[in-house]
Amino acid sequence: MSTRPALSAPTTLRHARILGLGAYRPERVVTNEEIIQFIDSSDEWIRQRSGIVTRRFAREDETVVDMAEAASRQALERAGVETGQVDAVIMATVTHPFQTPAAAPVLADRLGMTDPAAYDISAACAGYCYAIAQANDMIRAGSADTVLVVGVEKLSDFTDKHDRGSAFIFGDGAGAAVVGVADRPGIGPTIWGSLGERADAITQRESWTDLRPAMEDPGRTKGVDWPAFTMQGQTVFRWAVFSMAPVARRAVEAAGITPADLDAFVPHQANMRITDAMVKALELPEHVPVARDIAETGNTSAASIPLAMSRMLEEGEAPHGGLALQIGFGAGLVYAAQVVEMP
């Protein structure tokens, strides 16, 4: 057998941390009164069952790339990072309405970046935590020095306003994080996984190809529904409440700390009652502030964790440099949790 030279590979691992966070909330505030024009419900029921008081909807002409750009510019400015320094862009979204190209290269071009790696990931409400895990590993192993992570959704485009089970839940927005090289570990090990046998629990109602026969029918006689997202609320609720607290606990243990060392708990903003149940199951010490951004933002899927963390930092509820436990979970079903040092 001929001998060949060994491939070169990095032999030392580096540390990474979040250098800056950015948030974008669309202008239009949508009240429960507006939502219940289309479903048999009430402001009281929505507040009690989900904790949602208002949510934001993007303008019709406002895209996920527009929202991601606004959040990214803020994150870059706060991180003190020039766009030219970013060498990878990961966009977590399930509402970019193009099968291809991905939104990330378009965003990178908008931001004037020079030739970064750029791609989207589809991990629904766990997307941001999945992307943070990837950014951390890329930096640790040396395939990037500075990574822009964005969680962005325009869920109003994929919500059936007549669906009683989901119309009140979702909102639009974007959150971004700049992740870079650090002199100490700033992102703990990620605990993640999936449960594909429950893919039906939250799903797009029809596939894009289901629309084709109707589109090609000249008389448009075949009924067709817009492929909005639908969910089995109780199934998701039970899974989140019973299975996610142990995942969160494992992320804290993997980081080598205890819940008492946390300065913030930032769970995916799915439902206020899920957050309450997780806090209880985790036996989180009372001094740890808990993100409750859902009240004014709704469930923004991949955007919800960076939006909620940004709010806590802006309002002084959580300290810059403190440790936060973040956990995302949703359609797939998929989940991911890690402890991060807040910027």
Catalytic residue ranges: 125, 268, 299
Lookup: tokens for 264 = 């913030």
* Antiparallel, parallel or unpaired: β 172-182 and 191-194: unpaired
Q: Before 333, cis peptide (omega within 30)?
A: yes
φ, ψ of residue 27 in degrees (nearest 5): -70, -40
Nearest to residue 21, comparing CAs of 130, 188, 176?
176
Which one, 305 or 340, has the nearer CB to ligand COA? 305
- Per CB under 6 A, the list member of 179, 270, 302, 318 interacting with ligand COA is 270
Q: Return the percent helix, strand and coil in the chain, to nearest 5.
A: 40, 25, 40
Question: Cβ 36 to ligand COA, closest distance in Å?
Answer: 8
Provide the greatest CA pair distance for the chain.
75
- If one asks whether residue 127 binds ligand COA (CB under 6 A), the answer comes out as no
- If one asks whether residue 303 binds ligand COA (CB under 6 A), the answer comes out as no
The footprint of ligand COA on this chain (CB under 6 A) covers a number of residues equal to: 21
Lookup: tokens for 126 = 């766990």
Q: Which residue is nearest to ligand COA (CB)?
A: 233
Question: Cβ 271 to ligand COA, closest distance in Å?
Answer: 4
Whether the CB-CB separation of 179 and 139 falls below 8 Å is answered with: yes
- If one asks whether residue 49 binds ligand COA (CB under 6 A), the answer comes out as yes
- If one asks whether residue 234 binds ligand COA (CB under 6 A), the answer comes out as yes
- If one asks whether residue 41 binds ligand COA (CB under 6 A), the answer comes out as yes
Which one, 271 or 310, has the nearer CB to ligand COA? 271
Lookup: tokens for 41 = 């419900």
- Per CB under 6 A, the list member of 297, 299, 300, 310 interacting with ligand COA is 299
CA distance 18 to 118: 18
Lookup: tokens for 268 = 């995916």
- If one asks whether residue 271 binds ligand COA (CB under 6 A), the answer comes out as yes
- If one asks whether residue 333 binds ligand COA (CB under 6 A), the answer comes out as no
Binding site for ligand COA (CB under 6 A): 39, 41, 45, 49-50, 125, 164-165, 168-169, 202, 231, 233-234, 236-237, 270-271, 274, 299, 330
